[in-house]
Structure 1
Amino acid sequence: MTTFKLKAGFFTAIFCIFFSLHSCKEQPKNIVERAPITFTKDGELSILKKGTETAYIKFDIEISESEYETQTGLMYRSSMEDTQGMLFIFEDVAMRSFYMKNTEIPLDIIFIDENMHIVSFQKNANPFDEAGLTSTVPAKYVFEINAGIADSLNLEVGDLVQFQRN
């Protein structure tokens, strides 16, 4: 009887170990793929050369106002058309600092004051660079466009910016 109990206990233990090991078998991992983030046109932005009243260039803009939108900005985007940009709108005028964490495309960052004049630039910001890119004077708005466009359009401090929402 004791031998039967030992054998039964032994087989029960083996059975439990076998099934516990089998149930611990690694399950296939779910791979989550990030859907591409596409441009959403929220309005248009025009830049007027200082001293003129005619729009020099127009951009389609995506507007960023919420905390989440401001924190993510153009992150995780693989491209943007040269006629597109992102306009960040802040509640106050302050020194602004941006970085390129998780930003895949090089950018020109344009700082704009409360009177809608360009006051500072950070040109040719490198993708994925986490160094702070700061305005040289306080700004209320920040406009991001593809790198090199600010120079190709000869944008300057003092140029006037106008925008309208859709």
Structure 2
Amino acid sequence: MLIFSLLPVSLPAATPLELLAVERADGETVHYRVEIADDAASRRAGLMHRHDLPVGNGMLFDYHEPRPVQMWMKNTHIPLDMLFIDAEGYIVHIVEHTRPLSREIIDSTQPVRAVLEVNAGSSDRHGLRVGDRVCHRIFNNTGRHDAR
């Protein structure tokens, strides 16, 4: 005999997705739908304990001010590419194909404002490189297409 409860079930609040564009050096643009991790708790949780990330989605970690960043893959089941982004929105370092569940430290190599995590292989598949520009409201550069 199955018994169903009519009591409300508490589910975690859905994080709204925001659009983000990466302008490649060749003028092409790649779009992602991203969750924003902009406080200590959301940055600490990141993509941990998830088993999939829809194609074209990602997570943008906003540190508000440039600083050295170290990340790891503890409790993260999804292989990722990590794009480290300076305060102006330029990609300054990329780490591809991170190892799920690893405690190995992944270092920004220099102070960064943000980190974009996307599915492993995405940066290569879309031709993303150091020097490409990430356009999003946190960089105050949406709608601007000036060259570096």
Q: Shorter-chain TM-score category?
A: 0.7 to 0.9
Query: TM-score when scaled to structure 2?
Result: 0.80
Name the structure 2 match of 1:49. 24
Q: Percent identity?
A: 31
Structure 2: gaps spanning 5 or more residues: 1-9, 139-148
The structure 1 residue matched to 2:74, chosen from 98, 101, 107, is 101
State yes or no: 1:62 paired with 2:32: no
Q: Alignment length, in residue pairs?
A: 129
State yes or no: 1:137 paired with 2:110: yes
The one-letter amino acid of 2:40's match is E
Q: Which has more radius of gyration?
A: 1
The one-letter amino acid of 1:144's match is E
Q: CA deviation at 1:96?
A: 1.0
Q: CA deviation at 1:97?
A: 0.9
Tell me how far apart the structure 2 counterparts of residues 78 and 38 of structure 1 sit (CA, whole Å).
Answer: 18
The one-letter amino acid of 1:79's match is D
Q: CA deviation at 1:136?
A: 2.0
Q: Deviations over 1:3-53 (max 9, x none)?
A: xxxxxxxxxxxxxxxxxxxxxxxxxxxxxxxx997973331110001263x
Bigger proportion of residues as helix: 1
Query: TM-score when scaled to structure 1?
Result: 0.72
Tell me how far apart the structure 2 counterparts of residues 100 and 118 of structure 1 sit (CA, whole Å).
Answer: 20
Two-structure CA RMSD over aligned residues (Å): 2.1
Name the structure 2 match of 1:13. none
Contact 1:88 1:143 in 2 (8 A): yes
Contact 1:37 1:76 in 2 (8 A): no
Q: CA deviation at 1:153?
A: 0.9
